[in-house]
Amino acid sequence: MSTSNESQRAAALEAARTLQTTLHNARLHILEARSQFDSKRFDDIADWPGLLEPGGAPIKDPAIIAGDVAAQTSFLNKLKFQYLEQNAKDKYVKTIVSDDPQPVTAHDKEELRASNEKKKKVLKAAKVKLAEKYKDIRNLAPFVEEDYQKAKSLTDEAASLSQKIVDARLALTRLRQAHPHPRLTLTSAQAQLDEQVMQMQVSDAELQGLGEQVARVKERVKEGARELEGLRARRAEVEKEVKAVKVEVEDERVAPLYEWFTASLAFMHSITGLASKHSVSENELRLTYFVDAAPGDNRQVTVTLLFVPNTRQLADVHVEGVSEDDLGDLIDSHIQANDAPGLIAAVLARSRLK
């Protein structure tokens, strides 16, 4: 096995030597060409053949100069490619003829593993920090966006206000140009001052007159207030006298009238059979009657009258002790006619018949 390897190495070495000889005979000396190019002088480029006009003056046509520059650039590119090619071939030959690389031992693997572990730890810590940074960025992004929108709105508002200020200044300048202020001379200014002084004197006189008039009006108001107090006292005395006279007059007539009214009311209640009356509210009145349809019958009928608030208009009627189904038409007709006494009389009559 070692013999075959040595034969292969000898063959490769022979091939490399053959390639080196071939390259040497090919006369591709890039370093010499580079030194020749560096030693070339371009100061007398105007003296080159082909760059002179027939009269001997140098050619200054930009197109010709551009063509020469392009040709030189192409030559340099080719020269660079040949250099790279020869460099690659040289490295290839050196790789072939060099000794075999040293074998990788377990110690080298352990060192490589330890180095990888250390790098992994560093990478993991860096990833954790990067994740924290991303998290902070995500948390702060809404606030940054809000601040950005506020700053943008404020910037837009400031720009619009600046533009409005500029427009207002331009408009003010145009107005001043269109309507210039009249220039006052010393004489006209003195005359205007005298006129204003006279107006102030007249205004002071008017103010003094108004002050005196206000003082007189205040005195009149005070006198009127005193007269009003006297009249109020007189009115109170007169009202007391009137009340006393009314009491004396009424004392002679009220007692007989009250007795007559009370007797009449009791007689009417006995005739109609009214048992009780109760005012539930301002617009509701509840009346209870005794109904004697037969001897010994002591039945009661309650009629509740509902009126429209603050009026005498009958709004609704509820009857207890008698079926309202039999009295529906009767109640509706009397409600439309707004006849409360007639309704009560009709309900009592209908109840006594039953």
Q: pLDDT at position 262, please? A: 74
Question: For position 38, what pLDDT does the model report?
Answer: 65
Say what the pLDDT of residue 200 is.
Answer: 92
> Where are the domains positioned within the chain?
2-97, 103-181, 200-272, 273-353
The predicted structure's pLDDT at residue 250: 52
| pLDDT for 222 | 82
Smallest CA-to-CA distance from 85 within 93, 217, 338 is with: 93
Instruction: Give dist(CA 89, CA 177) in Å, integer.
Output: 87
What are the Cα distances from residue 301, in Å, to 176, 265, 323?
96, 20, 10
pLDDT per position in the chain (354 positions), as tens? 456 667 777 777 787 778 777 766 766 656 566 666 666 655 555 445 444 554 444 555 677 888 888 999 999 999 999 999 999 998 888 877 776 666 778 888 899 999 999 999 999 999 999 999 989 888 988 888 898 899 899 999 999 999 999 999 999 999 888 877 767 778 888 888 899 999 999 999 999 988 888 888 888 878 877 777 777 787 778 778 777 765 555 556 666 776 777 776 776 666 667 777 778 888 888 888 877 655 556 678 888 888 888 888 888 888 887 776 667 778 888 888 888 888 888 888 777 776
pLDDT at 34: 62
pLDDT of amino acid 1? 46
HEC profile for the chain? CHHHHHHHHHHHHHHHHHHHHHHHHCCCCHHHHHHHHHHCCCCCHHHCCCCECCCCCECCCHHHHHHHHHHHHHHHHHHHHHHHHHHHHHHHHHHHHCCCCCCCCHHHHHHHHHHHHHHHHHHHHHHHHHHHHHHHHHHHHHHHHHHHHHHHHHHHHHHHHHHHHHHHHHHHHHHHHHCCCCCCCHHHHHHHHHHHHHHHHHHHHHHHHHHHHHHHHHHHHHHHHHHHHHHHHHHHHHHHHHHHHHHHHHHHHHHHHHHHHHHHHHHHHHHHCEEEEEEEECCEEEEEEEECCCCCCCEEEEEEEEECCCCCCEEEEEEECCCCCCCHHHHHHHHHHCCHHHHHHHHHHHHHHC
pLDDT of residue 46: 47
